[in-house]
Amino acid sequence: MDGRFLARRNAQPARLADVPLLQESAFRAAVLDAVQTDGCHIASLFGRETDGAIELIAVVASDEASELGLIRTRLTGDSFASLTADCPQAQLFEREIAEQFGVTPEGHPWLKPVRFHAPWREPQPGGTHTPGVTDFFRVEGDEVHEVAVGPVHAGVIEPGHFRFQCHGEQVFHLEIALGYQHRGIEAAIAGGPSKRTVHMMESAAGDTTIGHTLAYAQALEALGGAKPPARAHAIRGIALELERLANHVGDLGALAGDVAFLPTASFCGRIRGDYLNLSAELCGSRFGRGLVRPGGVTFDIEPTRISALQERLDTATRDAKEAVALLWETPTVMERFEATGVVDSDACEEIGLVGVAARACGRAIDVRHDFPFGIYRFVHLPVMTAHHGDVNSRAFVRWLELQRSAEFVALQLRTLPATPVRVECGAPAADSIVVSMTEGWRGEVCHVAITGRDGAFTRYKITDPSFHNWFGLALALRGGQISDFPLCNKSFNLSYCGHDL
């Protein structure tokens, strides 16, 4: 990342006019240089409509410099040169831009709708789409067969369509079609913030309530010039890690369940509930709704509840350690986990995986470490990695993070600063942009807020970690066994609604 970008720290606002506006070709070259030579990854790439023209804004994240680079360009026609061929991690972002604004990324190798909604811009060149009705990659041949799964599944899970090209039990190719959960959150936020905005954040991806709401709160605080008190930062950290604990334990249990290993499956299901109940103890909601608000948090923790929380946290963590340790001690489980669903580290970097899935491939990226925010500026959590990129690595990273998170929460409960928990958050500054990132339990949550002349959002871009990672699941299946798909899927455990928004 170089001088062509406007460099900002996490949740540091800027005037929109200060973001360099480049020619299309210069914009393209700058983003490619940042990704290919400077080791940055694309945190967000999106369009917005301004004065009847389409503007593209790229946010590249430099993990080493802890800086977010902003850059933009204005399209002159209805198309632009696609980045995807040279920078595969842009592929889904470009498909999204094409769908939202009815423009064409020329040279995109597989341009398809993402969420199957009508373009936001009038007139609507593409017309309306029906979810799932699109071209799918096909392998031809007498011995090749196609298996289509979903969107309605045998279990109670979110809808998504998976299409496998198989040779017997072996998978040649998997294509994933989502969009069934599209609710139009981004479009609905524009014009805000209103009273409803925070609730949309809380339900953008229900299992990452704290992650998304925190990113939103940080963005508004940055734009409104508010500085939340230290105690609020600590409580937000506790809530974020409790969310991680509950989901990681739940995932490890579900992984055990998928290989029919009952003991861990049964115990972890219960322990996940214990962690969720800790969140409920914190704010009355098992998923942390109603806790994080711009300016701080809505609930303080009194001394009596601190000791209750500590006690229950210790019990749950002790149980979790016993239950999860069984996994690593059972050879039949290891046989299933190891070398299943491998994503190699080159592919991981190329397609821009984030979060647990990236750390399982040996990439030490973690927003808490690389772009510290809130409490993580003062308390540092080590980045947990594994190196094989298989189901076992993804499970093991969860197991390591689970232990660090439990230690973190215990420490924070002991050392809560004595300050108020909330300050007033002023109205957002006009004509500004801010990038706010948090490390949700799946990985990097990136929110970009842009305000207009009156301080209202003209564009609010949400990027859930699932948006980066779904393609990783497709790659993990290549050459694998179709019967291992559920296990691989669970090891990523990506969000459908976080992707579909």
Partner 1 sequence: MRGLAQLLLVLVASPLLLGVINRTKAIMAGRRGQPLFQAYWDIAKLFRKGSVISLTTTWIFLLGPAVAIVVPLLASLMLPLAAPRAPIAFTGDVIVFVYLFALSRFCTTAAALDTGSAFEGMGAARELTFAALAEPALFFGFLALARVSGGISLTSFMTMDGSHWRSASAALVLVIASWFLVLLAENSRVPFDDPNTHLELTMIHEVMVLDHSGPAFGFILWGAAMKLFVYCALIVGVILPTSGSPLVDLPAILGGVLLVGVVIGLVESGMARLRLVRVPQLLVTASLVAGFAVVLVLR
Contacting residues toward partner 1, per CB under 8 A:
145-149, 153-155, 168-169, 256, 258-263, 265-267, 330, 332-333, 335-336, 340, 481-487
Shorter beta-carbon distance to partner 1: residue 338 or 407: 338
To partner 1, the closest distance from the beta carbon of 343 in angstroms equals 18
| Distance of closest approach, residue 113 Cβ to partner 1, in angstroms | 24
Structure tokens at 309: 């929380």
Residue 398 tokens, joined? 């969860």
Phi first, then psi, for residue 398 (nearest 5°) are: -60, -40
Residue 459: φ, ψ to 5°: -155, 135
Smallest distance, Å, CB 156 to partner 1?
A: 8
- In whole angstroms, how close is the CB of 332 to partner 1 at the nearest point? 4
Reduced 3-state DSSP string for 269-311: HHHHHHHHHHHHHHHCCCCCCCCEECCEECCCCCHHHHHHHHH
Residue 329 is which amino acid?
A: E
Please state the closest distance from residue 211 (CB atom) to partner 1, in A: 27
Amino acid (one-letter) located at 430: A
In contact, 500 and 151? CB cutoff 8 Å: no
Answer whether 173's CB lies under 8 Å from 485's CB.
Answer: no
Query: What is the smallest separation between the CB atom of 145 and partner 1, expressed in angstroms?
Result: 7
Q: Which is nearer to partner 1, 339 or 411 (CB)?
A: 339
Q: Which is nearer to partner 1, 41 or 163 (CB)?
A: 163
- From the CB of 129, what's the least distance to partner 1, in Å? 24
Non-local CB neighbours of 312 within 8 Å, separated by 6+ positions: 274, 277, 278, 281
Q: Closest CB to partner 1 among 235 and 487?
A: 487
Report the residue number, 324 or 450, with the smaller CB distance to partner 1: 324
> What residue has token string 């993804």?
394
In 3-state terms, the chain is what percent helix, strand and coil (to 5)?
Answer: 45, 20, 40
What number of other Cβ atoms are within 10 A of residue 438's Cβ?
Answer: 29
Nearer to partner 1, 259 or 406 (CB): 259
Instruction: Identify which of residues 101 and 485 has a Cβ nearer to partner 1 in the complex.
Output: 485
CB of 479 to partner 1, least distance (A): 13
The pair phi, psi for residue 39, each rounded to 5°, is 70, 20
5/13 Cα distance (integer angstroms): 14
Our CB check for partner 1 shows the closer of 53 and 148 to be: 148
Stretch (H or E) spanning 53? strand 53-62
The stretches of 52-168 forming alpha helices (DSSP H) are 91-101
